[in-house]
A and B are shown apart, each in its own frame.
Chain A
Amino acid sequence: MARILGGITTSHIPAVGNAIANELQDDPYWKPFFAGYPKVHDWLADTKPDIVINIYNDHGLGFFLDKMPTFAIGAAHEYRNEDEGWGIPQLDPFPGAPEMSWHIIEGMVEDEFDITSCQELAVDHGFVVPMQLFWPGAPHHPDMPRAIPISANTVQHPIPTLNRALNFGKSLRRAVESFPEDLKVVVLGTGGLSHQLDGERAGFINKEFDRYCMDKIVHDPEALTKISRHELVRQAGAQGTEFLMWMMMRGALGDDVTEVTRNYHIPISNTGAGTMLLECGG
């Protein structure tokens, strides 16, 4: 049977894609951010997952407001990284795992999570930047797992609640663990932490709230479900709602996890940037 080894979170800021393209990892601005990743690389080299479930939020490449799925799951043989309009270098396609995608879709709809299935899905920086951070050279890293993208709506309110996000992850776990093939799976939760790009409050970052979320998500994610969506916008900023993706990931890890590493740095671009690796099992 398939099993989930652990979960990794990271911010997915577009500027990171440019920093990687320009090899700025040791630049003074970027060094405290990239310092969060070597322990993740070591863990991935040791565990070598076969499948990566990449939970991210599309920013207006794969989906538009004409049809906006609350939860969408890719079921394609490959995922193309296309032009987003502002000049990030585009990467080669990422190989998919459509058999497991369909198994997850079947299982979650049976579990009463109604999913939008996508046999074509262009993936933006929200998907590819974390892949580049965790598997340098992606998608051509020798250990690159096959990918299943899951996108949640944070573009247009109403967005899902934090409670729904956590329960989504729990349902995802049940679906993955019932897949008959003996595959190792890692789950990514990408985006956040606090940031706001729009309005007179642009540039808002909330270190205290970010640290609270990073502390609670390890052993007490249920506490975070008490935060309303409105409160999340107020505390994390309008785009800090991407923390939903972290909650979806956390739900997929089960009750007992061990924190392997974490990093937090302000600012990367306009954002409080957080990275965590949680291994399944206490």
Chain B
Amino acid sequence: MDITEFDHHTPIEGTTLFDGKMAMKGYALNKMCYSFNAADARQAFLDDPEGYMTRFGLNDAQKQACRDKNVLAMIAAGGNIYYLAKFAGIFKLGVQDVGAQQTGMSVEAFKQKLVDQGK
């Protein structure tokens, strides 16, 4: 296979590189999601999501993406998938659910796509 050096400015389709710029943009959202490692924080969010998001200083785009549970919108607002996974966990959404949502597929079709890549 051909492994060549790559133009660092060429975007990778369907992929957001989480770099310093995104880390700055998403800091409040990611910090909130990081807090969900703790069970009492997860419960506090469920009890009062709006208050919890305000407490962490989320901007309007981040708040709306969370209300909608829209993963692509959360990424566009600076979210990092490792922290967003903890948000998804509150709603018992696994990585196949999240993958299906982002690709516009049913969960079954997404799982089949994974299997097909092994063939």
Contacts and interface: CB of A to CB of B under 8 A. Distances in A.
Interface string A261-282: 0000111011010000000000
Interface of B: 1, 3-8, 10, 12-20, 23, 27, 30-31, 33-34, 36-39, 42, 71-72, 75, 80-86, 88-90, 94-96, 98-99, 102-103, 110, 113-115, 117-118
Contacts of B12: 201, 230, 233-234
Interface in A180-207: 196-205, 207
24 contacts: A59-B82, A60-B85, A60-B86, A61-B37, A64-B34, A65-B30, A66-B31, A83-B38, A84-B86, A85-B37, A86-B89, A157-B19, A199-B102, A200-B103, A202-B14, A203-B103, A203-B113, A226-B5, A228-B8, A233-B17, A238-B15, A238-B18, A266-B118, A270-B99
A228 B39 CA distance: 39
Specify the main secondary structure of chain A where it touches its partner.
loop
Given A85-B90, A156-B18, A227-B3, A201 B117 contact: no
Contact of A197 (B4, B31, B98): B98
Interface of A: 15, 59-61, 64-66, 82-87, 155-158, 196-205, 207-209, 212, 226-228, 230-231, 233-235, 238-239, 265-267, 269-270, 272
